[in-house]
Structure 1
């Protein structure tokens, strides 16, 4: 059975066409690519913070995987950060996919953008049952203000009471070099 996948991305990557290559690649496949698209558009942020959080939460309903499409500025986007953290809180499988190797609408490619999972993390509670979201501000790790602590699978004793970047746990792929067209369904399986 196909997974229902939420796509998180910087809207500029839609304008440049890169995000759409990934989000819509299943249209050209006979087997639907192993997922259904449950994305929402960033333009909804005009409704305000609370409304946007509700819209993102609604978009994540009934999903089991979240794919973060990593372009040049994705790591710094507040709502992408929220989508990542909320996906983890829900228990979704979360992966990152570098998309700057995909040719944009003008035929250009870019070098890989920064991995957003390097800028987000969890502080594991002393009992290993709770993760408190943290964010890198460029100098230090601090509390993530858009989402509070949430239950996680119990962590082993050596991880308790420590901070971990999400990149410690979450895999990233490159759409071009890792052949995302053929492998996406495996990545979210």
Structure 2
């Protein structure tokens, strides 16, 4: 398996705990994660102009080959997640969508799956899906996320 630089896209306010569960398991699999910063850094970025936020996202994407979009109940409502997805596609990154609604948060609560945002579809590209979609299972997914990331990269020829 090749070493991949991965950008994680998720709704910060609602799903950061769930995202950290996924991200931390990936670190044990040799995945270098981008898009994760200290909460204070995120809050500082969020107070900036839209153009500054876009520049920050673009800088985070530099050097990545795969984007993992972590889908919670309200991910579809985030214009920044949509921007991250579109910027990832423009870069030619492979994409993995992961339903993280079954991951418990810091209070032990799960959520519902909000679906894919309007206009985002899982389409066929040759004999392989252009985008992968997986549901996170706490028992088995940590052993497979590296394979999903590799497959997403290969699906776009990386």
Name the TM tier (shorter chain): 0.7 to 0.9
Q: Is the 8 A contact 2:132 2:148 kept in 1?
A: no
Question: How far apart, CA to CA, are the structure 2 residues paired with 1:26 and 1:92?
Answer: 18
Question: How far apart, CA to CA, are the structure 2 residues paired with 1:26 and 1:89?
Answer: 24
Q: Is the 8 A contact 1:40 1:56 kept in 2?
A: no
Q: Number of aligned pairs? A: 137
Question: How far apart, CA to CA, are the structure 1 residues paired with 2:107 and 2:136?
Answer: 18
Alpha-carbon shift at residue 76 of structure 1 (Å): 1.2
Question: How far apart, CA to CA, are the structure 2 residues paired with 1:54 and 1:85?
Answer: 14
Give the secondary structure class of the aligned counterpart of 2:122. helix
Match of 1:86 in 2: 87
Give the secondary structure class of the aligned counterpart of 1:95. strand
Aligned pairs for 1:51-130 within 5 A? 51-116=52-117, 119-120=118-119
Q: CA RMSD in A?
A: 1.8
Larger relative helix fraction: 2
Match of 1:18 in 2: 18
1:168-188 CA-to-partner distances (Å, cap 9, x unmatched) read 242211111783211000001
Give the secondary structure class of the aligned counterpart of 2:20. helix
Question: Which TM-score applies when normalising by structure 2?
Answer: 0.80
Which of 136, 143, 148 is equivalent to 1:187? 148
Gaps of 5+ in 1: 121-164
Question: How far apart, CA to CA, are the structure 2 residues paired with 1:101 and 1:74?
Answer: 14
Question: How far apart, CA to CA, are the structure 1 residues paired with 2:138 and 2:59?
Answer: 33
Gaps of 5+ in 2: 124-129, 151-158
Alpha-carbon shift at residue 104 of structure 1 (Å): 1.2
Larger relative strand fraction: 1
Match of 2:30 in 1: 34
1:42-96 CA-to-partner distances (Å, cap 9, x unmatched) read 5312111111111000000000000001001101100000000000000000110
